[in-house]
Amino acid sequence: MKAAVFESFRTPIHVQDVADPQSHADSAIIAVKACGLCRSDWHGWMGHDSDVHLPHVPGHELAGTVLAVGRQVSRWQPGQRVTVPFCCGCGSCFQCTSGNQQICDCYTQPGFTQWGAFAEYVEIRHADVNLVELPDAIDFVTAASLGCRFATSFRGVAVQGRLQPGDWLAVHGCGGVGLSAVMIAAALGAQVVAVDVRPDRLELAQRCGALHLINAEATDPVEAIRSLTGGGAHVSVDALGSKRTCWNSVRSLRKRGRHVQIGLMAGADANPPIPMSLVIAGELELLGSHGMQAFEYPRMLRMITAGQLQPDLLISNRVTLSEAAELLPQMHAFPGSGVTVIDRFF
């Protein structure tokens, strides 16, 4: 099969012929029809993730069709259209049996713990636990855009953030994660303030439902949010993953507000300072959001098929596998205004 491979960290990625994946008894082989490019892939390429071992194939936001299944797989058969959470559960550890497969103690992650979906085929372990059937109304490219950014934002805003209609939500960073959070929050009836430094992304945030836009290069976002919301946001999301956006997100909350960390913090931003005096005085909550369980996808998929959510609006570029290999090392510069998805693997 064709796959995009890097032989060492921070070096060029090349498309080459490699062996097809071999199925375990509990796994499914997926013929990949689309795969997103995510900043998390860039972190893996940089060497920020200890799960990545060389040589390596990135890619964790995927959709496709089941090609083959192992003998222990009972729920799936060849030909079914599927997607998958970026963090896959084992189905038997304490976290999985308590319904929290997104933080499985024995997790597997395509593109991190194993070769990923910048390839024609990918293996998904524990297929009965992790595969998600796609409605016919959702195409593969849109489905691939859900796997990390959109699904993580959905759970982060709706479950971890416990966002309610009428609440104020501040979103710091309007890349794929942030734009997803804006769209989801608006669909849930919240009032959204979007923060970024790029006018094109703020314009897209407005199209996704943001009521107020703040350019953090021109305005202090914390002061602006506290003024617009009458004392601070009920929920604030760091959708970028930097020391600055994390700090600003916590400081922009009203008393008893909830900060949700969705943006991955790694490299120089791995251990951000937190204004703990505000956390204590305001009884603030600090929450993480690490993906979404496969069994929780139906609610999100129903909202998409009903037109309440339109993740396809966030897709700015469709590229070939070779183009993706060139783009991934540039992800630190946040190219494009939305989500880039591979839809051709030749």
pLDDT digits (tens, 9 = 90+) for 137-168: 999 999 999 988 899 999 999 999 999 999 99
User: For residue 67, which of 109, 112, 106, 117 has the smallest C-alpha distance?
Assistant: 117
Amino acid in the structure at residue 288:
G
Is the Cβ–Cβ distance between 162 and 190 less than 8 Å? Answer: no
* Residue linked to tokens 């990390």: 148
* pLDDT surpasses 80 at 334: no
Read off the pTM: 0.91
Query: Domain locations in the chain?
Result: 2-144+310-344, 156-288
* pLDDT surpasses 80 at 221: yes
The CATH homologous superfamily for domain 2-144+310-344 is Medium-chain alcohol dehydrogenases, catalytic domain (3.90.180.10)
Q: Which two tokens stand for residue 180?
A: 């997803």
Helices (H), strands (E): how many in the chain?
12, 15
CATH architecture under which domain 156-288 falls: 3-Layer(aba) Sandwich (3.40)
User: For residue 264, which of 331, 327, 310 has the smallest C-alpha distance?
Assistant: 331
Summarised one tens digit per residue, pLDDT across range 191-201 is: 999 999 999 99
**pLDDT for residue 104:** 98
Question: Confidence class of residue 337 from pLDDT cuts 50, 70 and 90?
Answer: low
Helix ranges (H only) for the chain are 39-46, 94-97, 127-130, 140-144, 151-155, 176-187, 199-207, 221-228, 243-251, 276-281, 297-305, 321-327
Summarised one tens digit per residue, pLDDT across range 80-125 is: 999 999 999 999 999 999 999 999 999 999 999 999 999 999 999 9
| Percent of the chain whose predicted confidence (pLDDT) is above 90 | 91
- Distance of CA 295 to CAs 129, 186, 216, 327, Å? 8, 23, 37, 32
- Judge if the upstream peptide bond of residue 165 is cis by omega within 30 degrees of 0: no
| Percent of the chain whose predicted confidence (pLDDT) is above 70 | 99
